[in-house]
Structure 1
Amino acid sequence: MKPTISLVMIVKNEERTLLRCLESASKYVDEIIIVDTGSKDQTIEIARDFGARIYHFQWVDDFSAARNYALDQTSCDWCLVLDADEYISNDSYDTIRTFISKGPAIGKVKRIDDFSGSDGINHEITYISRLFPASCRYVGMIHEQIVSELPRIQVNVEIQHDGYLQQTKSDRNIPILLKAIDLNPGDSYYHYQIAKEYRGIEDHEHSFHYFKSAYQAMNRMEGYAASIIINYLYSIIASRHLEEGIAVIQNEQEFMFDYPDFYFVSALYLLELILSDPDQYGHMISTIEQFYMKALEIGETEKEGSVVGTGSFAAHYNLGVYYEVTGDLVKANEQYELAAVYDYRPALDRLELYK
């Protein structure tokens, strides 16, 4: 008998995105389990239109409790877990069916997170455990994780996620994360997650504090270790704690040797450092060029935490800006042209000024 699979979701007031999510995923599953934690909008009506089995759960500030209750309701062999602000963007039917037919394992899907940057919408890659046997359960009151000894295997399921563009959930998430940190003070994961929440609401001082704590607590075996280092450097720039960055860059080049994002943010950092005190740091200006060239040499990757463009169009554009500022307009134009191949708007705008 072929194994069966449930789409399992917890929701609350998701009418803006739930239809898109269910349209993308319903064709891949045998049943849909929706657990609602208190919707006041049309969420439940949208779910009913897809034949979902709907349950209600009293919210207790614990995502694992809600997720595990939802998993308890499934009648299938496997579960696919999505949030309402996510949707599957590639044809995954054969991938999913082949994976669940091979026996127990945890499927890690690729999620592309949209977030706002200075140059528009950026896209960060993460890998998350979302396809697993129905016997698996979550732990953690927020940013919950599947606990299992089963092997974790990347599967070619691509999920788009635009929830970070809304930033409507920080008021809920931050208190839960603070509670989790109180219970697990040495856990780098919760410090990392709360730092991202504070970054999302542009509280750069708190974001810096928690990224620094995450950096100091991590052991580099974490799947998100590289992301901590990269985002710590961004937080150093945003919070203007520039004195903190030199040691991070010096200490992490060996560990981060194949991450274009690391060299990209290091170049951004050096520019800010030099501008803060040209007399003391001006001699480091050529290193900016070296770092952008290194990012381009590595190129685009599919690594955890990588932001699309740091190994291609964004690095070409920023290198162009570097050449323009240092007076080499020929090289600047070359880099803008290379970035424009990707239809990168800042580069296209810059080239218009050359005409």
Structure 2
Amino acid sequence: MIVKDESKHLNTCLESVKEYVNEIIIVDTGSTDHTIEIAKTHGAAVYEYTWTNDFAAARNFALTKSTSEWNLILDADEQITSWDKDKVNKLLIGEINIKSNFKQNNEERYSQIFISRLLPKGAYYSGKIHEQVMSKLPKVEMPIEVFHTGYFQTDKSERNLIILKEELSKNPKNAYILYQLARQYKTMNLYQDAAHFFKKSYQTADRSEGYFTDLVVNYIYTLIELKQFYPAFEIIDQMNVPLGNNPDYQFVCGIFYMNFVLSNTAKNIDFLPLIERSYLICLALGNQNEREIVLGTGSFLAAYNLGVYYEMFNQKEKAKEFYEISAAYHYLPAKSRLLTL
């Protein structure tokens, strides 16, 4: 782990992981709180490191201090919530499921992503920010689940932008850096800047990359915010086949068609059925256990939006049906709408 001033989170993190590991390596980049003392109470080996705005360099330094054949990488604001010890011991290197909470539409929502965090000795990182593991070994999804709270109501924009711009100056055509820069601007509600960098990333990104679906979905959300409907149409036309079986893609399509129809109802009314169609596909994909990025796009969020759609057209029985599906997931807005029907 690399840490700085993490006394708020560190104890919870180390308590969650200590039964699964043989040693704990903590690299501290200049804490002024009780981080180091907390680490030592858990038997951690603590090393001081001068921060250079380079996450990969710090992680690689930490890896050199490990005496183990395999290394689990965590951040202080993460905690293990699930670990199938028998299966992990039968596998080698892998990606672990990191779930995060974030704010959207004044609600707390959750996302999930698989990231390489269980590494063999000799694997290393590259990239000053949003660093990636450099290894030719195959990536395997591991039965390990982590909950990450670091970006919930926390603004790390200034730090991230400085490092991302520095990286981009060295690699101006790197699709991954362009994507991360676009996401950062979107987080800051700077949608024009976000759209600019999403477009550049979209034009050069390899569609087989793990981040590509998220790139497309967030690009469309950004264009919706800017009311740039025709560029969004172009992307949807291109992505309907390669991403058609992804619930997050279908969900943003539903949002898009709704906003497009409402932008000029008289002119765009023919697109109204596509709203319903998108959310029904979401639910069908969810029933097939297609993986979501944002939890609920294949279940309670899609069902709730269908309820709103049917209620808007006074189809109260159908609205109630889908609100009940959503409410079964304890989604509070759906429960509230049921009380009014």
Normalising by the smaller structure, the TM-score range is: over 0.9
CA drift at 1:182:
1.5
What is residue 163 of structure 2 aligned with on the other side? 176
What is residue 229 of structure 2 aligned with on the other side? 242
Q: Decide which of 195, 200, 207 is 2:194's aligned counterpart.
A: 207
Counterparts in 2 of 1:228 and 1:128: CA distance versus 1, 3 Å: same
What is residue 299 of structure 1 aligned with on the other side? 286
Q: Decide which of 42, 47, 54 is 2:46's aligned counterpart.
A: 54
CA drift at 1:58:
0.7
What is residue 116 of structure 1 aligned with on the other side? 103
CA drift at 1:119:
5.5
Please say if 1:197 is aligned against 2:189.
Answer: no
Residue identity opposite 2:256 in structure 1? Y
Deviates most, 309-318 or 189-198:
189-198
CA drift at 1:216:
1.5
On the 8 A contact 1:167/1:200 being kept in 2, the answer is no
TM-score, length basis structure 1: 0.92
The 3-state SS of whatever aligns with 1:235 is helix
Distance in structure 1 (CA, Å) of the matches to 2:239 and 2:334: 30
Residue identity opposite 2:248 in structure 1? D
Unmatched runs of 5 consecutive residues or more in structure 1: 1-8, 100-104
Please say if 1:12 is aligned against 2:12.
Answer: no
Distance in structure 2 (CA, Å) of the matches to 1:77 and 1:270: 51
Unmatched runs of 5 consecutive residues or more in structure 2: none
The 3-state SS of whatever aligns with 1:31 is coil
Distance in structure 1 (CA, Å) of the matches to 2:33 and 2:290: 37
Residue identity opposite 1:237 in structure 2? I
CA drift at 1:218:
1.1
CA drift at 1:117:
1.3
CA drift at 1:95:
3.3
On the 8 A contact 1:167/1:201 being kept in 2, the answer is no
What is residue 154 of structure 2 aligned with on the other side? 167
The 3-state SS of whatever aligns with 1:249 is helix
The 3-state SS of whatever aligns with 1:284 is helix
Counterparts in 2 of 1:152 and 1:91: CA distance versus 1, 3 Å: closer
Matches within 5 A, 1:148-159: 148-159=135-146
On the 8 A contact 2:74/2:117 being kept in 1, the answer is yes
Instruction: Supply the RMSD in Å over aligned alpha carbons.
Output: 1.5
CA drift at 1:250:
1.3
CA drift at 1:302:
5.7
Counterparts in 2 of 1:280 and 1:182: CA distance versus 1, 3 Å: farther
Deviates most, 248-257 or 271-280:
271-280
CA drift at 1:87:
1.0
Distance in structure 2 (CA, Å) of the matches to 1:285 and 1:261: 19
What is residue 175 of structure 2 aligned with on the other side? 188
CA drift at 1:279:
2.8
Deviates most, 118-127 or 176-185:
118-127
CA drift at 1:13:
1.1
On the 8 A contact 1:95/1:157 being kept in 2, the answer is no
On the 8 A contact 1:259/1:306 being kept in 2, the answer is no
**Can you list the C-alpha shifts for 1:77-123, whole angstroms capped at 9, x where unaligned?**
11100011111101343333333xxxxx4211111121111151211
Please say if 1:30 is aligned against 2:17.
Answer: no
TM-score, length basis structure 2: 0.95
**Can you list the C-alpha shifts for 1:135-162, whole angstroms capped at 9, x where unaligned?**
1111111111111111111110011112
Counterparts in 2 of 1:49 and 1:168: CA distance versus 1, 3 Å: farther
What is residue 315 of structure 1 aligned with on the other side? 302
